[in-house]
Amino acid sequence: MMPTRIIALVIFLLLGAPSRAQVPSLSEAAGRYSLVADHSSLAFTVSAVGGPGIEGRFMRFDGNIDIPMDDMERARVMITIYPESVTTGQERIDNFLKSDAVFDTANEKAITFVSTHVTRTGEDTAVIEGNLTARGRTFGETFNVQLAEFRGTEIRLHVEGQVYRSRYGMDVGTPLYSNVVDFDMDLAVVRR
């Protein structure tokens, strides 16, 4: 649900953010990229009052990034997360997250993020804004992206962001569990 914003940030970085080894030009980074889930991590944390909170990740997700040669702000990021793939390492919590109280995986098969705007904020950083849709509700969300590596046909990005779960009808357990979901993603994308 929140990870889609991460893909938007990836697009921004591909358009104009440098790697530690080199700073790609727009023409070098321009192209169409696909997310490689096997080499990526989409993790989240929900803190709790007086307790450990919930830490988990999504195992299935995919996405695409399109970076035009002439204008990074026109980059497009599209990410789809499959909520039935959520895992915390604790079956009881996994089943609860999949229930109709949270992701409702019996009826809701996907969480999507589609970027609307990319803004470069530094040599290797950007902010990606876009629409996140979960449980039939769509809201604008923002993610911060840092270019971790650029190797010609592969880009690695680190994405972070926060999403209020109440906006998507997933606020069960508040205020004991925070309304804020912290996302921490390491994404690999390859040129198609």
Q: Which residue has the tokens 């997700």?
A: 61
pLDDT recorded at residue 118? 92
pLDDT recorded at residue 25? 54
DSSP string, 130-182: EEEEETTEEEEEEEEEEEEEEETTEEEEEEEEEEEGGGGT--TTTTTB-SEEE
Task: Find, among 10, 14, 5, 41, the residue nearest to 150 by Cα.
Answer: 14
Domain ranges, residue 16: 3-191
Q: Which residues are 125's β-sheet partners?
A: 146
Q: What is the pLDDT of residues 28-79, one digit of tens each?
A: 777 899 999 999 999 999 999 988 999 999 999 999 999 887 777 888 999 9
CA 108 centroid distance within chain: 18
- CA pair distance 54, 46, nearest whole angstrom: 5
Q: Can you tell me whether residue 142 is helix, strand or coil?
A: strand
CATH number of the domain within which 29 lies: 2.40.128.110
Instruction: Going from the first residue of the chain to its last (192 residues), give the mean pLDDT of each consecutive group of 10, the final group possibly shorter.
Output: 50 49 61 96 96 96 89 88 98 98 97 94 87 98 91 91 98 95 97 93
Classify the C-alpha dihedral 119-122-124-127 as positive or negative. Answer: negative
- CA pair distance 151, 145, nearest whole angstrom: 17
Number of domains the chain is built from: 1
pLDDT recorded at residue 18? 45
Phi and psi, residue 83, nearest 5°: -65, -20
pLDDT recorded at residue 150? 87
Peptide bond just before 175 cis, omega within 30 deg: yes
